[in-house]
Each structure stands twice: as C-alpha cells, then as structure tokens.
A and B are shown apart, each in its own frame.
Chain A
Amino acid sequence: MSEASPPIANDARPRLPRGVRLVHNEAQGGWVLLAPERVFKADAIAAEIVKRCTGTQTLSAIVDDLAKIFSAPRERVLADVTALLRGLADKKLLEL
C-alpha cells in the first residue's frame, strides 16, 4: 500500500470508463477486472471498492459505506480506497 497517493476530491464520482468492467467468473476463481487486452484479478475488498465506482456515488459516500460494512476506521479506509483508485486511474482503468 502506497502512503503517498495524492488525495482525491471528496465529491469526485469515480467510474469505470467504457471498455473496463468488473465481472465475477467461477472458472477464474472470483472477481476480475476486464480491460483493453488486460485482465486483473480483484480480491474481495478491491471488488467491493470497484463495484461502487458507477459514477453516481461520491468518494465520500463510498468510503462511509465501506467503513460501515467492514467496521474499519474511516481514515484507514480512505487511504486504501485512494491508493487503489489512484493506481487504477494511472492505468486508465478508472475515471475520477
């Protein structure tokens, strides 16, 4: 986990661009993110985060929601979500 991910605005509404989608596939053993000529396995937590990137929820709402579901400190969740979303955006797999 990177500590130095630049912050993302609280009112950003992250979404997957066209050509990127999260699917559940039994044969591949779980969640996978399909992208142009690439496939990324997503663990359960990453999948919960990416599922919420629909362009309707704000970052703030996503973090509140996940902190509640996982009974985790909000700050910690914010750091994890920010790092994941930054990483995806840098790979052009997410729009912020």
Chain B
Amino acid sequence: MAADTSESLPNPLGLLAELTHRCPLGCPYCSNPLALDPPRSELDTPTWARVFEEAAALGVLQVHLSGGEPGARRDLVEVTAAAHSAGLYTNLITSAVGITAKTLDRLAAAGLDHVQISIQDSEQKSADHIAGYDGAAARKRALAGEVVKLGLPLTVNVVVHRANIGRIETMVELALSLGASRVEIAHVQYYGWALKNRARLMPSREQVEQAMRQVETLRQKHHGRIVIDAVVPDYYARYPKPCVGGWGRRSLNVTPAGRVLPCHAAETIPGLEFWTVREHSLDEIWRNSPAFMAFRGTAWMQEPCRSCARHDIDFGGCRCQAFALTGDARATDPVCHLAPNHDDVVALTAVQDDAPYDYRRL
C-alpha cells in the first residue's frame, strides 16, 4: 500500500499482551474497548507462549502483560515464564487487586523484570471511589511493598483527571514512599470508557497548566530519586502525540481473544480488517495484515499533515482520535492546532458535568 514503507519495514519493540478483559476494578477511564472480550474467548497458555516466541523472532524486546487485570488469569505465572524464556523483558501492568504476595513471589522466580501498579488517588477514599472498589487503595499499597521487598523495580502509574489533578504532589510523594523508582503522570486519554465519561473527567485549562508547572517543580525537587514521566493532556496540547510511536512502526497489541491491533483503540475505526494469532503468525500480521498497512508511513495523509514538516515526528497524531472526533480516520488529529477541526476540541474541553461515573464493567 504505502510505497514509502515497503523497503524498510521497522521491527516492533514492544508487545502489549492483553491477557484478559476481566478486572475487579471499574475505573471510568479504562482504556479497554466498550465491547469487552468474554472470558471464554481468551487465548490459552500455549498460544500465548507461541505468540511470545514469534514476537521475539520479530525483534520485540519488551512484553507488557496487561488486561483487564492480568492477575485474573490462573496461568499468569506460566504465561510470564513463557515470555521470559522467549527472551523478552517482562513487565506486569496490574491494578494489584487479585495478585497475592505468594503469586508475586512465583512471578519473580519465573523471570518477571518489572511491575507497574496503578493508583487512583493519594486519598484512599477518593481512590476507592474512582476505582469503584472498596479497599482497593490499601491493597495496592500492600502489594507495592511486596514488590519492593522482592527487589523488583516498581513504577507507579497515576491516571490524572478532574477529581485528582489537584493532588499531583501528594501522589508523587506516595509513589516515593512506596519505593517506586519511576512514576507516570498519565493524563486521561479519551478513548473507550474515558470517552464515555469525558465530561466527568475533563479538567480545566487552569488546572492542567498548574499541573504541568507542578510536575516541573517535582522533577527538580526529586531529581535522581524518582523518574517522573508525564505527557501533556491531549486536548490541551498544541501538537498531537506521536500515537504508539507511529502506526505499525514500534508496537503491537494482542487482545484477549487474539486479534492483533496496531493500538489498543484501533477497533473503534470502522472498516479495518484485523488478523488473529489463531490464523496467522505474528510476522505475517505485522507485515501484511490490512489493519497494520492502513496507516503505515505517510502516503495516507491529507493536508495539513501531508506537507507538514512534523509529519515524521508525530505521524498526524492518533488515528482513533481523528475518527472519534471528526468521523474520518485519515484526518489530522484535531488536537493539533493546525487541524481544521481544532475548534471542536477547544469546545469539548468546556463540556464538563458532575454526573456519577459510568463505571467500566464486563
């Protein structure tokens, strides 16, 4: 399709393995799709093991074992061991609810390299309300302690939105006190459940600007003690994010049922044909599946992206967001200030309400 990519197809670096869509929490910004894969459709252990072997052969270096809650799978230790023996760097992305200290110990012995635990807020009551699960915050703190005790590196992931954006400083301090070496300040991105709850999650421009200044101050204050990774929240950005490092360039996502996607939200774009690991090898899918070919390279772009000097930097932004906000997946991501529909995004930031969350449920 795109002639400019045929000569030098890049090798993917990362694989997001969504082992299951089951999850005890109900976070209203969950990045999973609204139509979740039912448990009976999940890939079995040997299939995941094969996927990891194929991924390593394709050049993938890191696998992110995620979900839903990966701890909901009874074979998580076996799955992790398979990823490790394929030579992959293994990263567990967990809510911490559903993983016991004993399981964690077995995961470490199976070769787990790193753990990421999400926290919802530094105030426990608010955190449990956001997660839709009483007692979640306390369990997260307990498991974080076990991770550090085992000597595994810990990242704390904080999803930021209107209800907690004023507590970035205390959330970073919580991450430090839990023994994390890295904290991600992840402003909500509006896909899936977050799109459904957008008006309840959206912060104001003043809040966002204050949050960004605070992150800068915290970086200086904690330099060398904890790494703070943060990105500008999409809707308030000047340029779009280089979504997944460019479509079909750096990463793949395997759903619980085995469909392989260029990004976790790709199924929201109508008309894309996804291949599954049940029928094709990962190598074939990476090279030839219609969904991966659809927006690879730059040939699909329209103006203003086509002639933009940044089109190799941000790749036109996010295809899923372009579709969600304009109805055209080939459009410039409208969060870009150069996009013809940018004013719609500015208008959307003003739409806020305090209705109860629509919690994510299977």
Contact = CB atoms under 8 A, between A and B. Distances in A.
Interface string A25-40: 1011000101011010
Interface in B162-182: 181-182
Interface string A6-48: 0000000000011111010101100010101101000000000
Nearest to B150: A18
B60 to A, nearest CB: 8
A92 interface: yes
B270 interface: no
A36 B181 CA distance: 9
A39 B116 CA distance: 16
Interface in B51-80: 58-59, 61-62, 64
B226 interface: yes
B59 A28 contact: yes
A19 B59 contact: no
Contacts of A25: 59, 61
A89 interface: yes
B11 A36 contact: no
B255 interface: no
B59 A92 contact: no
Given A90-B223, A92-B181, A23 B114 contact: no
B181 A34 contact: no
Nearest to A18: B151
Contact of B227 (A23, A34, A39, A92): A92
Contacts of A89: 224
B42 interface: no
A87 B59 CA distance: 27
Interface residues of A, number: 18
B329 to A, nearest CB: 27
A21 B61 CA distance: 11
A20 B113 CA distance: 8
B221 to A, nearest CB: 14
B186 to A, nearest CB: 12
Interface string B1-25: 0000000000101100000000000
A30 B116 CA distance: 27
B155 interface: yes
A84 to B, nearest CB: 15
A36 B223 contact: no
- The residue among B14, B153, B224 with the most chain A CB atoms within 10 A of its own CB is B153
A92 B181 CA distance: 7
Interface string B224-248: 1011000000000000000000000
A34 B182 CA distance: 15
B152 interface: yes
Nearest to A19: B153
Contacts of B152: 18-19
Given A19-B153, A32-B61, A92-B227, 18 more contacts: A17-B153, A18-B113, A19-B114, A20-B153, A21-B89, A25-B59, A27-B11, A28-B59, A34-B62, A34-B89, A36-B153, A36-B181, A36-B182, A37-B62, A37-B64, A39-B62, A89-B224, A92-B224
30 contacts: A17-B153, A18-B113, A18-B152, A19-B113, A19-B114, A19-B153, A21-B89, A25-B61, A27-B58, A28-B11, A28-B13, A34-B61, A34-B62, A34-B89, A34-B113, A36-B91, A36-B113, A36-B155, A37-B91, A37-B155, A39-B13, A39-B61, A39-B62, A89-B224, A90-B223, A90-B224, A92-B181, A92-B182, A92-B226, A92-B227
Closest 3 CB pairs of A and B: A27-B59, A19-B153, A36-B114
Interface of A: 17-21, 23, 25, 27-28, 32, 34, 36-37, 39, 89-92
